[in-house]
Amino acid sequence: MKVTDSFLCELRKRNDLAATVSTYMPTEPSGSGYICRCPFHKGIDLSFHIFSDTQTYHCFECGASGDVISFISSIEKCGCFEAVRLLAERVELDPPNEESDDKTALKRARMLEMNLEAARYYRDVLHSDMGKRGMDYLLGRQLTLGSIRKYGLGYAPGGWHDLHHHLKNKGFTETEMAEAALIVHKGSSVYDKFRERVMFPIIDIRGCVIGFGGRTLEKTAPAKYINTDETLVFHKRENLFSLNFAEKSADKRFILCEGYMDVITMNQAGFDGAVATLGTAVTPQQAKLVKEHAKSVVISYDSDEAGQKAASRAIKLFSDIGVEAKVLTIPGAKDPDEYIKKFGSVRFGELLNGLPTATEYVLSRLLTKGNMSDVVKYLAGLTDSEREKQMPTVNVREPDITANSETTVAEPNDDAVEKPVSELSNDEILRMIEKVRKKRGKT
């Protein structure tokens, strides 16, 4: 049995979180969930909340949070692969042992454990004096402590061997650390890959830490963000940041953002469908991932030309696989973060609900650019009913009934293509569309 997404869904469904927690701690009902003493820190308050609807937990004292798999992994002090195996056994699902015989699977499990340890280390640093610079930055960006904890954010200190020595003390070898791309080999020496950076752990759908993004706080650093290199467990083209939260989003609408910070601020404002790619343009694999977990997607990229070009490419990718995609355009603010701060999240939600369709978006972009032949080519590629819907947008001029009939029915010559759209009638446009389609048919 392989650890597929559907296997994990089944596993979560059968291992109710509250029931699982109650085998370790006495719980009591509270609201729509349960509360209990936190098993992860010493304290007598009922600070540990179990949310039945999302099947997640959060301790409001120590910040421990996650789902049933991370709960078992933390309480049994094992890697998440082992936690999955334990949970599978409890509900008599075939445990995923086929892979565990395999050397690679063991290596993967070990790498995930090391990533988890690194994430804990970075997190502890952030919440200590050593991480003050990072914490100041995050609070300065108006993230709440709750969001910082929810995302397990951390800080990589400036030394060359901080994480290296920490992991060594935990029993990991230099070869393992280098394979996980946490340290870098240079000649005969090694050093930490991430230094003086705010750390964003990248967590997959199973709740495993598969890699990191690191944002520098140095103005002179060559790269603002760096990510973990490709490893046995980290494939940047096949994962999305915050998918572990977004897949539980109730409205099944993802919001595709450009960066990790955008995702977290959006999440903080209550839009838990926010995700981001991991330093690349959207890939076909990521589009498929969206399709698996959401019904539609809103693309929230920068309003500059580069951002809008990327948005157009993304629309194409999504529409090719049948996912409804819309592009977020924000009036009166430079990005969602600013808009939400100015007008509040209710207004932002209304904005999301009233977005133009992908076709309307592409068409209005082409019309703004004013190249009529591009508009015609685009319209020609649409189905008749789609085009019909769009024609009123294009029909910016009332039909001229006083014009003599010969000019109106005349075949548009190639000059017409150069005319601004406002000077073309629907009739002319339709003829041009026919022409383009005929040409396409021939080739």
Using the contact rule CB under 5 A, the part of the chain among 33-41, 224-232, 258-266, 328-336 near Zn ion is 33-41
Report the relative pairing of strands 296-300 and 253-257 from DSSP bridges: parallel
Indicate whether 287 belongs to the interface with Zn ion (CB under 5 A): no
Q: How far is the CB of 87 from Zn ion (least distance, A)?
A: 21
- Report how many residues bind Zn ion under the rule CB under 5 A: 7
CB 3 to Zn ion: min, Å: 28
State which residue, 7 or 40, has the beta carbon closest to Zn ion.
Answer: 40
Of 55-63, 111-119, 341-349, 420-428, the segment contacting Zn ion by CB under 5 A is 55-63
What's the farthest any 2 CA atoms get from each other in the chain? 89
Q: How far is the CB of 48 from Zn ion (least distance, A)?
A: 6
- Kindly tell me which of 59 and 327 has the beta carbon lying closer to Zn ion: 59
Q: Identify how many contiguous H helices and E strands the chain contains and give both numbers.
A: 21, 15
In the bound state with Zn ion, the residue whose beta carbon lies nearer, of 58 and 253, is 58
321 within 8 A of 353, measured Cβ to Cβ: no
In the complex, the smallest distance separating the C-beta of residue 39 from Zn ion, rounded to whole angstroms, is 8
Scan residues 299-338 and list those touching Zn ion (CB under 5 A). none
Shortest Cβ 332–Zn ion spacing (Å) = 41
DSSP label of 56: E
CB-nearer residue toward Zn ion: 66 or 214: 66
When binding is defined by CB under 5 A, the residue of 59, 138, 274, 362 that contacts Zn ion is 59
Out of 7, 10, 41, 82, name the contact with Zn ion by CB under 5 A.
41
Closest to Zn ion by CB, 37 vs 164, is 37
d(CA 368, CA 393): 12
Rounded Cα distance, 239 and 232, in Å: 13
Residue ranges of alpha helices (H) inside 223-259 are: 243-246
Regarding 184 and contact with Zn ion (CB under 5 A), the answer is no
Scanning 16-24, 35-43, 146-154, 316-324 for contacts with Zn ion by CB under 5 A, the matching segment is: 35-43
Binding status of residue 7 toward Zn ion by CB under 5 A: no
φ/ψ of residue 54, rounded to 5: -95, -5
- Tell whether residue 25 is a contact of Zn ion (CB under 5 A): no
Of 27-35, 40-48, 87-95, 201-209, which part binds Zn ion (CB under 5 A)? 40-48
Cβ proximity of 284 and 317 under 8 Å: yes
Which CB sits closer to Zn ion, 59 or 299? Answer: 59
User: Residue 210 and residue 228: Cα distance in Å, rounded?
Assistant: 9
Residues 61-90 that bind Zn ion (CB under 5 A): 61-62, 64
Of 37-45, 170-178, 379-387, 388-396, which part binds Zn ion (CB under 5 A)? Answer: 37-45
Gap between the Cα atoms of 8 and 329, Å rounded: 36
Amino acid letter, 110: R
Strand pairing of 56-59 and 48-51?
Answer: antiparallel
Closest C-alpha to 192, from 169, 209, 167, 213:
167
Closest by CA to 114, choosing from 1, 208, 37, 41, is: 208
Query: Which one of the spans 38-46, 290-298, 332-340, 386-394 is the region binding Zn ion (CB under 5 A)?
Result: 38-46
Give the DSSP per-residue string, 5-44: HHHHHHHHHHS-HHHHHHTTS--EEETTEEEE--TTS---
Stretch of 56-64, 193-201, 311-319, 372-380 contacting Zn ion, by CB under 5 A: 56-64
Q: Is residue 35 near Zn ion by the rule CB under 5 A?
A: no
Helix (H, G, I), strand (E, B) or coil at 330: coil
Residue with tokens 């383009």: 436
Q: Is residue 38 within the footprint of Zn ion (CB under 5 A)?
A: yes
The residue (of 62 and 130) whose beta carbon lies closer to Zn ion is 62
Copy the structure tokens of residue 422: 């406002």
Residue 63 CB, shortest distance to Zn ion, in Å, is: 7
Minimum Å distance from CB 198 to Zn ion?
23
DSSP secondary structure string for all residues of 70-102: HHHHHHTT--HHHHHHHHHHHTTPPPS-TGGGS
Query: Do the beta carbons of residue 314 and residue 256 sit within 8 Å?
Result: yes
281 close to 318: Cβ distance less than 8 angstroms: no
From 30-38, 78-86, 218-226, 407-415, span contacting Zn ion (CB under 5 A): 30-38
Counting Cα atoms < 13 Å in the Cβ hemisphere of 105 gives 14
Determine the distance from the C-alpha atom of residue 406 to the mean position of all C-alpha atoms in its chain, rounded to a whole number: 56
CB of 28 to Zn ion, least distance (A): 16
Decide if residue 160 touches Zn ion (CB under 5 A): no
Q: Which residues pair with 65 in a beta bridge?
A: 58
Query: What track of x and - describes contact with Zn ion for positions 340 through 379 (by CB under 5 A)?
Result: ----------------------------------------
In angstroms, give the least distance from the CB of 49 to Zn ion: 10
Q: Give the binding site for Zn ion (CB under 5 A).
A: 38, 40-41, 59, 61-62, 64
